[in-house]
Amino acid sequence: MKILVLHGPNLNLLGTREPEIYGSMTLGEIDAKLVELGKSLGADVKCLQSNHEGGLIDALHDARTWANGVLFNPGGYTHTSVALRDAIAAIGIPVVEVHLSNVYAREEFRHHSMISAVCKGKVIGFGWRSYALGLRGLLEAG
Ligand code: DQA
């Protein structure tokens, strides 16, 4: 199994970005944990981050050619991007939506996701462990 872990805008700043909301682990540390977890579950995990909507769309299109599934935290684009939703619907491989924070306990504009309806499932609110749980879900039920 090959899995793409895709992180959207501002997630490169994890570790120093609002740690009371997002935790103190850096993106590099999270990615290392996911690669390690993937290995222990027999999966090859590749991690990418982009601050650009088009870069995220290109990564999703490319994943279609090599990945069995995608773990995706689109950051702020979650709440705005029809283009990301269309890309997920187009690629035909399972995508699991991931958020570090519980978006429903935050501002109202974070309560709507443009992508949930075209995702296989969604894990939110468990900090970096949202990704770990999403990876297990993707591997066991994707
Ligand atoms: C986030 C939640 C989004 O609302 C926010 O814009 C982010 C991070 C999360 O992981 O909790 O950038 O996706």
Nearest to 89 by CA among 114, 53, 110, 54: 114
What digits encode the pLDDT tens for the residues 12-62? 999 999 999 999 999 999 999 999 999 999 999 999 999 999 999 999 999
What digits encode the pLDDT tens for the residues 71-121? 999 999 999 999 999 999 999 999 999 999 999 999 999 999 999 999 999
Q: 101 and 124 in contact (C-beta within 8 Å)?
A: yes
Confirm or reject: Cβ of 50 under 6 Å from ligand 1: no
Q: What is the pTM of this model?
A: 0.98
Query: Token pair 């570790």 is at which residue?
Result: 15
Instruction: Give the residue, by CA position, lying nearest to ligand 1 atom 12.
Output: 75
Instruction: Give the residue, by CA position, lying nearest to ligand 1 atom 9.
Output: 99
Query: Token pair 């950051």 is at which residue?
Result: 75
Backbone angles phi, psi at 7, to 5 degrees: -115, 135
pLDDT of residue 138: 96
Whether 22 is a known active-site residue: answer yes
pLDDT of residue 110: 98
Q: Which residues of 27-55 are buried (b: 16+ CB within 10 A; e: fewer)?
A: beebbebbbebbeeeebebbbbbbeebee
Separation of 140 CA from ligand 1 center, angstroms?
A: 25
Task: Return mean pLDDT, the chain.
Answer: 97
From 7, 52, 61, 99, active-site residue: 99
What distance in Å separates the CA atoms of residue 67 and residue 52, rounded to the nearest whole number?
A: 21
| Mean pLDDT value of segment 3-19 | 97
Question: Which atom of ligand 1 is the closest one to the Cα of 10?
Answer: 12
pLDDT band at residue 142 using 50, 70 and 90 as cut-offs: confident
Give the E-state strand segments of 8-75 in sequence order. Answer: 44-49, 69-73
Specify the length of the chain in residues.
142
Q: 131 and 5 in contact (C-beta within 8 Å)?
A: yes
DSSP symbol at 120? S
Confirm or reject: Cβ of 12 under 6 Å from ligand 1: no
Question: Which atom of ligand 1 is the closest one to the Cα of 110?
Answer: 4
